[in-house]
């Protein structure tokens, strides 16, 4: 087992990892920027190291500072959380070259799944269904138009190095495609440092289904059911639930087996997520794999009773999975909403500030993952997520009622601070969502968001 783990992140996921370390009896080291000197993850960790000023590129994304902090603290492992350096194969290689275990998949696997062309080829070879599209980068607008002419409109242009819902744009006609192609390339270059894009058939009406997987270095792998992430805004997930109201047991088994097939074909090790689109005919299509813990992992934990972060740590330390597929028993229904410091009435603009009041719900079947307390500062430099509210109940109607009750208990105040709570209440009250028939176009079609 590791003697000490450095948590290379901030916010609620850093708190989550520190707590997992504490329960495993492993000392933890928090890193922090100047803006996070008094943050909750710093207070909870066994020790902390300052790694730079507020801008992420000079602190949480600055690899020399992070690795240096681990070496100074005597940490022999780094948990990257999600975001920041969590899917950077170069960072994982630097960790290894300094005798530090990166708690995540091997660098070559991260590189393979991070490049969408490589991932698509590997999944095709493994036998997973993919939407028709190009296997490699499209060289220019003319090639994009030729491909779209064969596929039929609408098509989606995606960054090969993209992730997290970024670097994606839809073209509904040839007149739109040239502009979409050029703007997506420019966005991909600015965000990912890689302008390559590919073209794929677009499903206007679909469900977003993701399968949580766990795999070890000994060839063992299990899946822990699905999460339905269809309520999205601009490809960013806002509400997640498990199980999906769209799957029956037969389809659940098929998509789970496909996820395991892809996981094993990659030689994956750790916690990961295989993401699929599900059409109205019950056909599912591989979309991408996320080689890290997901923001929405508590939804799965609530229905399966397995601590995914602890499993990440154990697998990274070389332990074989003590779970077999027959051991995975899913019970009840869980729903998660992301409470962000954003104003839904102003196009979800971030609303940084200092929290003068911060009270979140409790009671049976309620879990809150947060890094905030009264007096916490919400810096403008980072993601606006301030809490994840997760509920569990015996079935979906009861879980939705519990979430509605819990949202009504949230009290967050601060000069200029607004939250997404009213938005979530609107979604929870909408008859289409309550019926279980929400697709990825739910917000634009029903709430005009």
Q: What token pair was written down for 363?
A: 């009671």
Residue 235 backbone phi and psi in degrees, to 5: 65, 10
Alpha helices in 211-327 (DSSP H): 249-266, 297-304, 308-316
SS3 280: coil
Of these residues, 16, 120, 292, 396, which one is catalytic? 292
Alpha helices in 115-193 (DSSP H): 116-126, 141-151, 174-192
What does each C-alpha distance from 23 to 17, 41, 188, 259, 274 come to in angstroms?
10, 15, 40, 30, 28
Long-range interactions of 425-432: CB distance < 8 A, separation 24+? 427/231, 427/238, 427/239, 428/400, 428/403, 428/404, 429/404
Would you list the DSSP string of 11-33? HHHHHHHHHHHHHHT--EEEEEE
The per-residue b/e assignment along 410-436, b for 16 or more CB within 10 angstroms, e otherwise, is bebebeebbbbbebbbebbebeebbee
Instruction: Decide if 215 contacts 270 (C-beta within 8 A).
Output: yes
- Residue 292 falls in the annotated catalytic set: yes
Instruction: Decide if 239 contacts 207 (C-beta within 8 A).
Output: no
Active site residues: 292
């Amino acid at each position: 087992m590791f003697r000490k783990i450095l948590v290379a992140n901030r916010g609620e996921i850093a708190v989550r990892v520190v707590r997992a370390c504490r329960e495993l009896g492993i000392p933890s080291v928090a890193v922090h920027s100047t803006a996070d000197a008094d943050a909750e993850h710093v207070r909870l960790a066994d020790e902390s190291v300052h790694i730079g000023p507020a801008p992420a590129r000079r602190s949480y994304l600055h690899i020399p500072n992070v690795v240096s902090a681990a070496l100074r603290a005597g940490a022999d492992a780094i948990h990257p959380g999600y975001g920041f350096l969590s899917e950077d194969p170069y960072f994982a290689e630097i960790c290894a070259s300094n005798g530090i275990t990166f708690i995540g998949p091997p660098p070559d696997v991260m590189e393979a799944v991070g490049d969408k062309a490589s991932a698509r080829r590997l999944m095709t070879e493994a036998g997973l269904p993919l939407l028709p599209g190009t296997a490699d980068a499209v060289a220019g607008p003319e090639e994009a138009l030729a491909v779209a002419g064969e596929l039929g409109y609408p098509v989606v242009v995606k960054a090969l190095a993209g992730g997290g819902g970024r670097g994606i744009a839809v073209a509904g006609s040839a007149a739109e495609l040239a502009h979409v192609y050029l703007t997506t390339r420019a966005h991909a270059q600015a965000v990912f440092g890689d302008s390559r894009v590919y073209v794929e058939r677009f499903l206007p009406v679909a469900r977003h289904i993701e399968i949580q997987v766990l795999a070890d270095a000994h060839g063992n792998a299990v899946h822990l059911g699905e999460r339905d992430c269809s309520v999205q805004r601009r490809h960013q997930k806002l509400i997640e639930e498990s199980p999906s109201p769209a799957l029956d047991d037969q389809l659940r088994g098929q998509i789970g087996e496909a996820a395991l097939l892809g996981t094993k074909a990659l030689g994956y090790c750790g916690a990961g997520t295989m993401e699929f689109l599900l059409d109205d005919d019950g056909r599912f299509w591989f979309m991408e794999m996320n080689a890290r813990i997901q923001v929405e992992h508590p939804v799965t934990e609530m229905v399966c009773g397995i601590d995914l972060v602890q499993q990440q740590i154990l697998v990274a330390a070389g332990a074989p999975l003590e779970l077999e597929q027959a051991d995975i028993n899913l019970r009840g229904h869980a729903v998660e909403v992301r409470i962000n410091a954003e104003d839904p009435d102003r196009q979800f603009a971030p609303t940084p500030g200092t929290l003068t009041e911060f009270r979140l719900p409790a009671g049976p079947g309620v879990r809150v993952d947060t890094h905030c307390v009264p007096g916490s500062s919400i810096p403008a430099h980072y993601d606006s997520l301030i809490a994840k509210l997760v509920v569990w109940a015996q079935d979906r109607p009861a879980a939705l009622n519990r979430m509605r009750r819990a949202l009504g208990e949230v009290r967050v105040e601060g000069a200029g601070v607004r939250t997404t709570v009213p938005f979530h209440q609107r979604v929870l009250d909408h008859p289409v969502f309550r019926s279980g028939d929400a697709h990825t176009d739910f917000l634009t079609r029903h709430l005009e968001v």
